[in-house]
Amino acid sequence: MNPHLPPVAPSVTAELVAALTPRLRKRLDAGVAKVAGRPTVREGDVVRIALDDDTDLELHAPGGAVTSAEAVRCGCLLAPDCLHRAAAASAAPVADPADTPATGAPRPRPDPPQPAPGPEQPPTAPARPEDRTPAAAARSVTAAPTESETATAEQLTAAAALRDAAAAVLEAGAEGAGAVLQAELLRAAHTARLAGLPRAAGRAVAAVTALRAARSADPAHRLTDLAAALREVLGVAHRLPGAAGAELAGLRGTVRQPYAPDGSLRLYGLFSEPVLTATGYAGAVTWTADAEGRLYTVSDVAPGGADRATGAAGRSVRIGDTALTHRELSRAGLAVSGATVSPTGRLGAGAGVRAVRASGAAWHAEPLDGLWAVPVSEQVARALTTEQDLLFLDITLAGTVREAAGDCLVADCGGLTLRLAAAHDDPALPHRDNLRLLASARGARLRVVARLTPAPLPRALLLATSHPTDPGARVDLGLDRLLRADLPTAQTPPVPAAPAPDEAPVHLLRRRVHQAASGGRRVLALPGNRDADAARLRRHGLATAGDLLDELHAAAADRSRDPFGRLLPADTARFGRAWLAAAVYTEELDRALCAAAWDAHLAPSSPSPR
């Protein structure tokens, strides 16, 4: 994947690949590698690729994305039936389906409008504080689905196409899922979007992006991201035929989150974090809180790379007429009138929104101190059952521990041994360097903000911390760089960390799930020590995990023969179902073990996260 190329709509890539002859399709992956390595020149909305000394290929991206096949033009003698156009589209980032219409120019991203008050919606904020939550605002603008509502015929057809395309990718794995299989998944994503399934369409696009990152050896590639995207695509396709009412609405998803009026808000800055995704988006998000402890975010995320992620904190926030930058807002406050808020707490920037700078608050002062007063077990239970996954913790650094992904901090958190890892590994961001410095401050007592990572042991990603020598100051670990002089000179004795309990061997099943996503069905079909892994799972009381592992291997190795002894095509449907069952079980088991590790109590009817 070439990040210097403009994003291309999924339908465009699918159309160009489908137009290739069978002979050219076999050469497409080699063409993608060639085009991705050629120099590019941007002139306004046109990106030009020099195929050779005399031939150029142009991608016209008015509005930032290529939205039609005619916008990809090649100067070779075989154009428009050449390989180059499809190769360029397959080498470019995938445009967000929500940002590009089915045909025509890309849809602009206007600020969320200020809804006009209706007869049942007063123009002022509700009097009760609980009525001003983002969830209450979402309910005021979102109609509740009826229990008798079911999926339409178009949606069922689109779900079947997604299931088949994702199963074909899973059959081949990241190593074998070339541009042709990616285009089939993009075609299914486009069909799903037209049928009113934006959630599945978005996750299918995320799967293609992860596939391209894996095949191009992108350092930002994470196998867990690919497995999660494929799991959700297959999960939606599997559940949609039998869903109704609220479950159906959740499976469909929404193209854009609704913004609803939330009256006047008095917000206090918490911290800022950089955003740098594998899909080609970058920027910053600043977290704020009101006096009741509800969290709100102000974001500035757009197509870009590491430079945009590191520079976005210095840009002004796009709310009202305030001149505050994201870095300043994380330490100051904001008074907002006419606020609009999404269900996840994101602040809108409509024409009717007014905002001015206000005084901030220290983490140890009211009202922010109340965020850390909530028991840790309650915070973890909330993070596992809602979209809000931040943890506010008081810790004492106890040392480091080496893991496969690198060293992480070990800290004592109210008697729990907590592992804190870097939130991002990109070398352009200071996360990893800051963690290395904090590792030498053993015994330091810090107040931190972290993002929960579901795991059998207490684990989180470290986002922000109080200053090691000045408790009144704070450090955004993705934007600020700690220095050796910031560490305390006199080291206090470290608090010994409690020994980690024996972990349930969930990794035996998770490893097979990830191996299938990476190497495909054939990797699990190879003979190996399968029985020993299943027996070990059963010895630890994970009988269901052992059964799922046996079925996954059996589905991978199941190959029938015709009367002449020739191998028949593999049953991709059976393998897809077996893999989906193992992936969902692993996710839910991680969630249950995480709750147990933090001593968090989840209600039996608690929904799965996200």
- Per-residue pLDDT tens digits for 248-259: 998 998 877 778
Task: Give phi and psi for 591, each to the nearest 5.
Answer: -65, -45
pTM equals 0.81
Q: How many Å is the maximal CA-CA distance in the chain? A: 81
β-strand pairing of 260-276 with 333-341: antiparallel
Rounded Cα distance between 498 and 601, Å, is 22
pLDDT at 155: 94
Residue 149 and residue 251: Cα distance in Å, rounded? Answer: 13
The pLDDT assigned to 603 comes to 64
The position carrying tokens 């907590």 is 418
pLDDT of residue 528: 66
Whether 301 and 275 have beta carbons less than 8 Å apart is answered as yes
Cα–Cα dist 387/345, whole Å:
10
Phi, psi of 392 (to 5 degrees): -115, 110
Nearest-angstrom CA–CA distance, 561 and 205 = 35
Q: Which fold has domain 369-486?
A: OB fold (Dihydrolipoamide Acetyltransferase, E2P) (2.40.50)
From-to residues of CATH 2.40.50 in the chain: 260-358, 369-486
Give the residue carrying structure tokens 């992620």: 309
Do 307 and 315 contact (CB within 8 A), yes or no? Answer: no
Q: Which of 236, 238, 207 is nearest to 224 (CA)?
A: 207
Packing angle of the helix pair 530-539, 543-557 (nearest 10 deg) = 160
Residue 369: the pLDDT is 94
pLDDT at 284: 92
CA-based nearest residue to 546, from 534, 554, 558, 557 = 534
| Contact status, residue 82 vs residue 28, Cβ threshold 8 Å | no
Domain covering 260-358 assigned CATH 3.60.21 in the classification: no
From the first residue on, what is the mean pLDDT of each consecutive set of 10 residues in the chain (610 residues)? 83 93 93 88 90 88 88 90 92 76 37 34 33 40 62 94 94 92 95 93 92 83 90 94 90 82 90 84 91 92 84 86 88 91 86 88 94 94 89 92 80 91 88 90 92 90 93 91 82 52 78 93 80 89 92 87 78 92 93 89 53
* Neighbour count for residue 197 (Cβ, 10 Å): 27
**Could you give the strand order of the β-sheet that contains 333-341, starting from the edge strand earlier in sequence?**
295-303, 281-289, 260-276, 333-341, 354-358
- DSSP 8-state class, residue 587: H
CA gap 135, 295 in Å, rounded: 12
Please give the Cα distance from 38 to 50 (Å, whole number). Answer: 6
Are 406 and 432 in contact by the 8 Å Cβ rule? The answer is yes
